[in-house]
Amino acid sequence: MSGRRVPKRRQAGEGSSAPSFDNRHFISQAAEDHHNSHVLKCRFVKERGLAGHEEIMHQRQWEGFMAKPEDGNKTMVREFYANVKLNSLNNNRVLVRGTTVDFSSSAVNNLFDAPIVDEPNDFEAFIQHLPSWETISEVLCTAPPNWILNVHNEPVGIPRSSLTNEAWDWLRFINARLYPSSHLSEISKDRAILLYAILTGVPLNIGRYINGAILKSARGGMTISLYFPSLVTALCQQEGLVNLPGDELIQPV
């Protein structure tokens, strides 16, 4: 198994005030145990950049967001996720190696120099008046697709093979950088709506999506993968944290 396990706990008698867990890396015994029993088994999903598509990039001011990410620190990111899992009182900040790291939507947007977007109002208005599936498919697909249907014969997704080259590029990008998923054979309704929104200029707050995905990955719902290793590392480095001897690194796609 890859990854670095923390040193053994101190034995009784080594100091009554000494914590029983590695408090240099974890916020609690439970966080350390979660790291060793679960997080070390999780795989990483590598981030990727997106070349081309300059019109959308400049329109949304996503130059930083779409650039190829830097290397991530797998060891530090594992500690981050273990601590976020047990840090239920704060959805925006967590202690990593003794330093408070801000992963709020505003911190993510600032890291990418992404603009402030009044997304809750704009996007909610869009969601409340969604275009028809036929309209969405006209933007995303090369031809009318063979819909993926549920048991009630209602459309719930689009086969990946139906996508245009542009929509396919964006799907791979958002699956790694915005709305995490390793499933590429079909596009769910929610993901199709997000793709349509990107391609048609609907305002999006990327920081809100990423903050929510971090919390979902750490606290349940994404149980086998760790997302945003490069981004999380950059947020940690922004607070002065550095790679330590023995830390494992991960390169983006």
* CA dist., res. 163 & res. 195, Å (int): 11
Look at residue 246 in the predicted model and tell me its pLDDT.
97
What mean pLDDT, rounded, does the chain reach? 89
User: Is the pLDDT confidence value at 222 over 80?
Assistant: no
Look at residue 79 in the predicted model and tell me its pLDDT.
98
- Which residues are within 8 A (CB) of 14 and not within 5 positions of it... i.e. 6 or more apart? none
Helix (H, G, I), strand (E, B) or coil at 140: helix
Quick: pLDDT tens for 177-203. 998 877 778 898 889 999 999 999 998
For CA atoms 182, 6, 27, 80, the dihedral sign is negative
Say which range, 45-49, 69-73, 179-183, has the weakest mean pLDDT: 179-183
Look at residue 49 in the predicted model and tell me its pLDDT.
93
Quick one: what percent of the chain has pLDDT higher than 90? 68
Helix (H, G, I), strand (E, B) or coil at 1: coil
* CA dist., res. 227 & res. 230, Å (int): 9
Query: Greater confidence, 96 or 149?
Result: 96
* CA dist., res. 185 & res. 190, Å (int): 15
Please check whether residue 101 is in contact with residue 231, taking contact to mean a CB–CB distance below 8 angstroms: no
Q: What does the pLDDT average to over 143-166?
A: 92
Q: Rounded to the nearest 5°, which phi and psi values hold at 145? A: -80, 165
HSE (side-chain half, CA atoms, 13 Å) at 24: 5
Cβ-based neighbour number of residue 220 at 10 Å: 9
Look at residue 2 in the predicted model and tell me its pLDDT.
53
Burial string for 50-82 (b: 16+ CB within 10 Å, else e) reads beebeebbeebebeebbeebeebbbbbbbbbbb
DSSP 27: S
Look at residue 126 in the predicted model and tell me its pLDDT.
87
Quick: pLDDT tens for 8-24. 554 444 555 667 889 99
Which band of pLDDT confidence, cut at 50, 70 and 90, is reported for residue 116?
confident
* CA dist., res. 96 & res. 80, Å (int): 6
Please check whether residue 231 is in contact with residue 46, taking contact to mean a CB–CB distance below 8 angstroms: no
Quick one: what percent of the chain has pLDDT higher than 70? 89
* CA dist., res. 3 & res. 248, Å (int): 7
Q: What does the pLDDT average to over 38-45?
A: 93
Look at residue 3 in the predicted model and tell me its pLDDT.
61
User: Across-strand partners of 158?
Assistant: 187
* CA dist., res. 79 & res. 35, Å (int): 7
Sequence letter at residue 137: S
Most confident of the following: 14-23, 76-85, 126-135, 218-227? 76-85
Q: What does the pLDDT average to over 15-42?
A: 88
